[in-house]
């Protein structure tokens, strides 16, 4: 899964493509932690994410909670595959707001 980070003056955009699975968690976690530390709004683009596993959902859930506690937010654009997997996993809503 390629993780691309674009650092803007007002926000960070993190693009995730392909399969989001345990093997790519370290890279995703690093990008999320760095983005949260910036205190800027995070924009997640997962429109090209084909698959997501429970570990990735949990990591994104935790990042959303951390952003809320820090007074910032995470906005996400997600693929149908990500939305379906999150719903199947029991998330009543995806852990971050969906644009």
Inter-axis angle of helices 25-37 and 54-70, nearest 10: 10
Domains defined along the chain, listed by start:
3-88 (3.30.750.24)
Average pLDDT, the chain: 89
Q: How confident is the model at residue 95 (pLDDT cuts 50, 70, 90)?
A: low
Q: Encode pLDDT of 20-52 as tens digits.
A: 888 888 999 999 999 999 999 999 999 999 999
Q: In three state form, how does the secondary structure of the chain look?
A: CCEEEEECCCEEEEEEEEEECHHHHHHHHHHHHHHHHCCCEEEEEEEEEEEECHHHHHHHHHHHHHHHHHCCCEEEEECHHHHHHHHHCCCCCCCCCEC
Q: What percent of the chain has pLDDT over 70?
A: 93
pLDDT recorded at residue 12: 95
- Please state the rounded mean pLDDT for residues 13-19: 94
pTM: 0.87
């Amino acid at each position: 899964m390629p993780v691309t980070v674009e650092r803007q003056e007002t926000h960070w955009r993190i693009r995730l493509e392909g399969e989001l699975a345990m093997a790519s968690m370290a890279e995703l976690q690093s990008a999320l932690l760095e983005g949260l530390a910036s205190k800027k709004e995070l924009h997640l683009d997962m429109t090209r994410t084909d698959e997501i596993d429970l570990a990735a959902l949990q990591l994104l859930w935790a990042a959303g909670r951390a952003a809320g506690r820090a007074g910032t937010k995470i906005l996400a654009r997600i693929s149908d595959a990500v939305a379906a997997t999150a719903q199947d996993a029991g998330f009543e809503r995806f852990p971050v707001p969906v644009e």
